[in-house]
Amino acid sequence: MDVQTRSVPVPTRAPSGDTNVYLLGAEPAILVDPATQTPELDRLVRDHRVEHILVTHTHPDHVGAVDSYAAQTDATVWARYGRTDRFRDATGREPDRTFTPGTTIRLGDTRVRVLTAPGHAPDHVVFEAGRSGPILCGDCAVREGSVVVGAPEGDMRAYVTTLRRLWAIDPPALYPGHGPEIDAPRETLERLLSHRAKREQRVHVAVTDGAETLDEILDRAYEKDLSGVRDLARGTVAAHLEKLDVEGRVAWDGRRAAPPDGD
């Protein structure tokens, strides 16, 4: 399946400052994550018969032009079943149809399949382009750096599961929401899993050593300068604490952490 990419500038905390918009197929085509309108993206849409518009998740830097391109193309706009209120709040419009994990959308003689991928956002999905084809992975992975998974929006347990699921699928490529194509998916997914495991270990050790508040744990879990991103790091540490609490490895009430009872 033909996959075309256009990077568009949007207000985003992603290091690239851009969001990737994807066009799958040609006649017909699917538009994925139309974050904003640009002349280049306008031309791409105009030159193809766009029949469907999909988003990996409803963060503002992925949905800003859903309504305008829907009006231009008369395409069917899809949202995740059970998350239509969230979709409407983000896009300003009702979806035409809803999908669930496993839904397939026909595209000529092939299809796009929806796979669940929560963690970065509760409504996050990914799209498999053709049978055993590349996966448009939204904000599940990036080729360099890491993905923000911050509480209360992010769920670290779900995110780690999503990375492991993508590793098991082993697609030929991942097309991320930000940054360049990931042409070695398993290598990148293993790096991201390792990064999360190391951060989690530092958070756990901080609590074991007596850190209680979020800021105390944050200062021990990170060695690098957090200027400009401290709020994101706080959310990440909170997400790790929530995961550790569910697993019984720390006690975390949203304000203070401690080793679990009996330790």
Q: What is the pLDDT of residue 15?
A: 67
Same domain, 44 and 80: yes
Tell me, what amino acid is at 206? A
Q: Are the beta carbons of 161 and 169 closer than 8 angstroms? A: no
Q: What is the pLDDT of residue 263?
A: 58
**Sheet with 104-107, side-by-side order of all strands:** 104-107, 110-116, 125-129, 135-138, 174-176
Same domain, 68 and 127: yes
Tell me the pLDDT tens digit for each residue of 34-83. Answer: 999 999 999 999 999 999 999 999 999 999 999 999 999 999 999 999 99
| 3-9/174-176 β-pairing | unpaired
Average pLDDT rounded to a whole number, residues 150-167: 97
Is residue 188 in some structural domain?
no
Same domain, 160 and 61: yes
DSSP letters along 117-155, please? --SSSTT-EEEEESTT--EEEETS--SSS-----TTT--
Tell me the pLDDT tens digit for each residue of 92-108. Answer: 999 999 999 999 999 98
Same domain, 158 and 214: no
Same domain, 176 and 227: no
Strand-pairing partners, residue 135, are: 128, 174
- Please report, rounded to a whole number, the percentage of residues in the chain having pLDDT higher than 90: 92
Helix-, strand-, coil-residue percentages of the chain, each rounded to 5: 35, 25, 40
> For all residues of the chain together, what is the average pLDDT?
96
Q: What is the pLDDT of residue 108?
A: 87
Q: Which domain holds residue 67?
A: 3-183
- The enclosing domain of 43 has a CATH number of 3.60.15.10
CB atoms closer than 10 angstroms to residue 85: 10
174: three-class secondary structure by DSSP: strand
Tell me the pLDDT tens digit for each residue of 180-229. Answer: 999 999 999 999 999 999 999 999 999 999 999 999 999 999 988 898 89
Same domain, 165 and 201: no
Same domain, 228 and 148: no
Tell me the pLDDT tens digit for each residue of 238-255. Answer: 999 999 999 999 999 999
> Which one of 165, 183, 201 terminates a domain?
183
Average pLDDT rounded to a whole number, residues 154-173: 98
* 14: pLDDT strictly greater than 70: no
Q: What is the pLDDT of residue 54?
A: 98
Same domain, 8 and 105: yes
Tell me the pLDDT tens digit for each residue of 41-53. Answer: 999 999 999 999 9
Is residue 263 in some structural domain?
no
Same domain, 21 and 79: yes
